[in-house]
Structure 1
Amino acid sequence: MKIVRVQYTTTAAFAPINQANIAAIVEELKQLNHPGIKYGCWLLPDGKTFMHFDQLESEEAHQVLMSLNSFNKFAAELLASGQEAEAKLELLTLVASTEDFW
């Protein structure tokens, strides 16, 4: 299992575009219905800091996520947007959970 947490801050002007791009990723993932991908994103109270939390059954599942057209559009536009704080990526290790995982 691979658990990834990513946090970054966009500009206030780009935040709504980023939200729309994230919604497109979620929609594509719902259509794909891959059993090994759990994906979520939260907006922090400042309205421009995003925290993504991905739970992936395997590296293959991670590659599926990263190969989505919607994910590539999101990543390219985010990179070009001039973020206020660059992405910080962390790989997490599950200690305990009420949810069953793979």
Structure 2
Amino acid sequence: MKIVRVCYTTTAAFATVNQKNINGIVNELKELNHPGIKYGAWLLADGKTFMHFDQLDNEEAHEVLTSLESFKKFDAELLASGLEAEPQLELLLLVASTEVFF
């Protein structure tokens, strides 16, 4: 299993566009219904800092996520938006959970 947490801060002006792009990813993932991908994104209280939390069964599932057209659009627009804080990626190891992931 691969667990990835990514945090970054957009400009206030771009935050709404970023939310729409994230919803595009979620909608495409729902249509795809890939059993090895769990994806979520949160907006922090400042209204412009985002946290993504991806739980992936394996590297192939990660490649499926990043190859989605909606993900490519999200990524390109995010990087061109003039971020206030660059993405910080962390790989996590599951210690314990009440939820079964894969």
TM-score normalized by structure 1?
0.99
Q: Does 1:75 align with 2:75?
A: yes
1:15-63 CA distance string (max 9 Å, x none): 0000000000000000000000000000000000000000000000000
- The CA RMSD measured in Å over matched residues stands at 0.3
SS in structure 2 at match of 1:35: coil
Distance 1:81 1:37 in 2: 27
Q: How many residues align?
A: 102
Poorly superposed stretches of 4+, deviation over 6 Å: none
AA in 2 matched with 1:82: G
Where does structure 1 lack aligned partners over 5 or more consecutive residues? none
Where does structure 2 lack aligned partners over 5 or more consecutive residues? none
Map 1:1-102 → 2, pairs under 5 A: 1-102=1-102
Alpha-carbon distance, 1:101 to partner: 2.1
TM-score normalized by structure 2?
0.99
Q: What is the aligned-residue identity percentage?
A: 77
